[in-house]
Amino acid sequence: MTGSFAWCLAEWLNLAQVVGLIFALTLSHNTLAFAYSSQQRGYLKQNWKRHLLPLVLIGSAVFATCWYGNPPVYFLFALHHMFNETYLSQERFKQRDGVLAFARASLHFVCYFTLTRLNLSYFVPVFDKALFACTLLAATGFVLFILAKKWNEESRADLLNELLLPAITAWSLATKSLTVDHLVLYHFIFWALHPIPRLKKQSKLLSYLGWTSILSGVAALFTPLGPHWGNITVAGMSYLIGLASFFHFFSSFALSRSHPEWIKRWFFPKAATVVAIASPKTFSKSA
Contact 258, 84 (CB under 8 A): yes
pLDDT mean across residues, the chain: 84
Closest CA relative to residue 87, chosen from 74, 99, 106, 105? 105
Mean pLDDT of 131-156: 82
pLDDT at 93: 63
DSSP state of 270: -
Contact 115, 183 (CB under 8 A): yes
Mean pLDDT of 196-218: 91
What number of H helices and E strands is found in the chain?
15, 0
Task: Specify the pTM.
Answer: 0.85
SS3 content of the chain, % helix, strand, coil (to 5): 75, 0, 25
> What SS3 class is residue 23?
helix
When pLDDT is cut at 50, 70 and 90, the band that residue 140 belongs to is very high
- Among the ranges given (40-44, 134-138, 214-218, 247-251), the one the predictor scored with the smallest mean pLDDT: 40-44
